Amino acid sequence: MVGALDSRTETLAGLLREAERAVVLTGAGISVPSGIPDFRSPGTGMWEGVDPMEVAHIDAWRRDPDRFWRFYGARFASLVDKRPNRAHEVVAELERSGRIRGVITQNIDRLHRAAGSERLLEIHGSIESSVCPQCRGRTGIEQVVTLLASGDGAPECPACIAPLKPDVVLFGELLPADVMSEAEQLALEADLMICIGSSLTVHPAAGLPQLTLRSGGSLAIVTESATPLDDQAAVKLTGDVVAELDAVELALSS
């Protein structure tokens, strides 16, 4: 069994060595070792007993921003101190060493940026800032967290006193067109896409590996769960995401 795992690691390292336009796509699974539960796994943390599609929906924010922030503020507070893990670091190192062109992520937790990734496309936005619907001004997360701690509802724009909206894509909202278009371009041009910690079921992100496949690129998957694209992947690694990426980096450096 160990031999089989080793050969899959070698296969991915080999694909990375040969690739000229590789790109990484990540989902919630890469941040689980940082203590951020994937809300699609049942019974995890703050998402237990709530329907994310309802409480984190744009209509919930529009209807009652104070109520929305009473829930969402807890999410902000739970993410603000989280640190990148070894898997984020390996991804950043792949970019620094020129092995990948960039990272597309479904995560809003800022951990790729904290680990040193530079060309980062956060297609679901980020908790880094919140936006005022009136003046479009942005307020940084530190100030938002301070405002949340001192009040009992929505943090307000310092200029307009309007309730802020987190700069994340809520359910019912469209993905940012400019970011998505750059992500699609990277996916189309990629000769290798490595999907890490994503179930590849949430569209439109799940369509990106299909763009790579259709234009003749290869697909590698590093995800414990089954994905709809498993049988089209050149290689799939199903172990712990940190252990798998550590092994890939070791294989690349030897």
**CA nearest to 209, candidates 224, 225, 231:** 231
Phi, psi at 31, each rounded to 5°: -100, -5
Residue 135 one-letter amino acid: C
Query: In Å, how far are 27, 49, 50, 168 from 172, measured between CA atoms?
Result: 19, 20, 17, 12
Please report how close the Cβ of residue 239 comes to Zn ion at its closest, in angstroms: 47
> Does 57 participate in catalysis according to the annotation?
no
- The strand pair at 125-131 and 120-122 is best described as unpaired
Nearer to Zn ion, 50 or 159 (CB): 159
Identify the helix (H) or strand (E) that includes residue 235: strand 235-237
Nearer to Zn ion, 135 or 226 (CB): 135
Nearer to Zn ion, 74 or 135 (CB): 135
Please report how close the Cβ of residue 139 comes to Zn ion at its closest, in angstroms: 9
DSSP secondary structure code for residue 200 in this structure: S
Please report how close the Cβ of residue 137 comes to Zn ion at its closest, in angstroms: 5
Nearer to Zn ion, 155 or 197 (CB): 155
Name the site residues for Zn ion (rule: CB under 5 A): 132, 134-135, 137, 157, 159-160
- State the Cα–Cα distance between residues 197 and 246, nearest whole angstrom: 14
Please report how close the Cβ of residue 140 comes to Zn ion at its closest, in angstroms: 14
Coil, helix or strand at residue 62: helix
Q: Please list the active-site residues.
A: 124
